[in-house]
A and B are shown apart, each in its own frame.
Chain A
Amino acid sequence: MEAYLVAMAIITAIYVLLALGLNLQYGLTGLTNFGHVGFFCIGAYTAALMGQIGIPWPISFLAGAALAALAAWPLGLVSLKLRDDYFAIVSLGFSEIVRIVVTSEQWLTKGVQGITGIPKLLGFLGTGLTQSLAVLALLIAVNVLAGLANRRIVRSPFGRMIEAIRDNEEAVKALGKDPAGFKIQVLMLGAALAGVAGGFYAHYIGYIVPEQFIPLITFYVWMAIIIGGVGRISGAFAGTLILMIFLEGSRFLRGVIPFVSEVEMASIRLGIIGLALVLFTLYRPQGLMGDYTKR
Chain B
Amino acid sequence: MMNRRQLLATMASTTLLATAREGFAQGAPTFRIAALNPITGSGAAYGAGMQKMILAAVEEVNAAGGAGGRKIEVVAEDTQSQPQAGVLAAKKLIEIDKVQGLIGIWSSGVALATIPLANDANILFMCTSGAPEITNPQVNSKGLVYRFNTTGDGYGRAFAEACAREGFKRPATMAFNNASGIGIVDGFRKAWEKNGGKVVEAVVYEPNQPSYRSELQKVLAAKPDVIVTGSYLPDTTIILREWFQTGDTQKWMLPGQAANPDLIKAIGPEASEGLFVVNSISNEMSTAYAKFDAAYRKAMNQPGTSNIYAAMAWDMVIVLALAMEAAGPNANVAAINAKIREIANPPGKQVSSFAEGKEALKAGKVNYDGASSAVDFNQAGDVLPDFDLSVISKGVITRKNIIKI
**A→B interface (CB under 8 Å):** 1-4, 7-8, 11, 100, 103, 111-114, 116-117, 127, 205-207, 209, 211-212, 248, 251, 258-263, 265-267, 269-270
Contacts and interface: CB of A to CB of B under 8 A. Distances in A.
A116 B108 CA distance: 11
A4 B95 CA distance: 6
A263 B95 contact: no
Contact of A116 (B48, B52, B91, B133): B133
Task: Please classify the interface of chain B as helix (H, G, I), strand (E, B), loop, or mixed, using the class held by over half of its residues.
Answer: helix
A251 B97 CA distance: 12
Interface string B74-85: 101110001110
A112 B133 CA distance: 12
B356 interface: no
A212 B51 contact: no
A14 to B, nearest CB: 10
Contacts of A260: 14
Contacts of B179: 112-114, 209
A255 to B, nearest CB: 11
Contact of A211 (B52, B88, B109): B109
Contact of B88 (A206, A248, A267, A270): A248
B88 to A, nearest CB: 6
A261 B10 contact: yes
Contacts, number: 101
B182 interface: yes
B91 A206 contact: no
A269 B133 CA distance: 32
Contact of A212 (B35, B76, B83, B139): B83
B113 interface: yes
A112 B52 CA distance: 30
Interface string B46-79: 0110011001000000000000000000101110
A206 B48 contact: no
B35 A262 contact: yes
Interface in B1-26: 10-11, 14-15, 18
Contacts of A212: 82-84, 109
A3 B51 contact: no
22 contacts: A1-B95, A7-B91, A8-B88, A111-B182, A112-B177, A113-B179, A114-B108, A116-B112, A117-B138, A117-B139, A205-B83, A205-B84, A207-B113, A248-B88, A248-B92, A251-B77, A261-B10, A261-B14, A263-B47, A263-B51, A266-B47, A270-B40
Interface residues of B, number: 43
Nearest to B98: A1
Interface in B70-125: 74, 76-78, 82-84, 87-89, 91-92, 94-96, 108-109, 112-113, 116, 120
Contacts of B94: 3-4
A94 to B, nearest CB: 17
A267 B35 contact: no
Nearest to A270: B40
A266 B40 contact: yes
B120 A127 contact: yes
Contacts of A1: 95-96
B55 to A, nearest CB: 7
A82 B286 CA distance: 64
B189 to A, nearest CB: 14
A40 to B, nearest CB: 12
A266 B39 contact: yes
Given A3-B91, A7-B88, A212-B84, A116 B40 contact: no
B262 interface: no
Most A CB contacts (10 A, CB to CB) among B47, B51, B52, B116 go to B116
Interface string B162-206: 000000000000000111001000000000000000000000001
B131 interface: yes
A121 to B, nearest CB: 14
Contacts of B10: 259, 261
B152 to A, nearest CB: 10
A4 B55 CA distance: 25
B112 A114 contact: yes
B133 A7 contact: no
A262 B40 CA distance: 12
B87 A205 contact: yes
Contacts of B51: 262-263
Contacts of B89: 251
B73 to A, nearest CB: 12
Contacts of A263: 39, 47-48, 51-52, 76
Nearest to B7: A259
Given A4-B95, A8-B88, A262-B51, A111 B177 contact: yes
A205 B96 contact: no
A4 B133 contact: no
Nearest to B110: A207
Contacts of A211: 109, 178
A206 to B, nearest CB: 6
Most A CB contacts (10 A, CB to CB) among B18, B52, B83, B138 go to B83
B109 A262 contact: no
Nearest to A205: B113
Given A251-B89, A266-B78, 8 more contacts: A3-B91, A4-B91, A103-B206, A112-B179, A209-B109, A212-B82, A261-B10, A266-B40
A116 B138 CA distance: 10
Contacts of B77: 251
A287 to B, nearest CB: 24
Contact of B15 (A112, A258, A261): A258
Nearest to B183: A113
Contacts of A262: 35, 51, 55, 74, 76
Which 7 pairs between the two chains have the least Cβ-Cβ distance? Answer: A266-B39, A266-B78, A262-B76, A4-B95, A7-B91, A207-B112, A263-B48
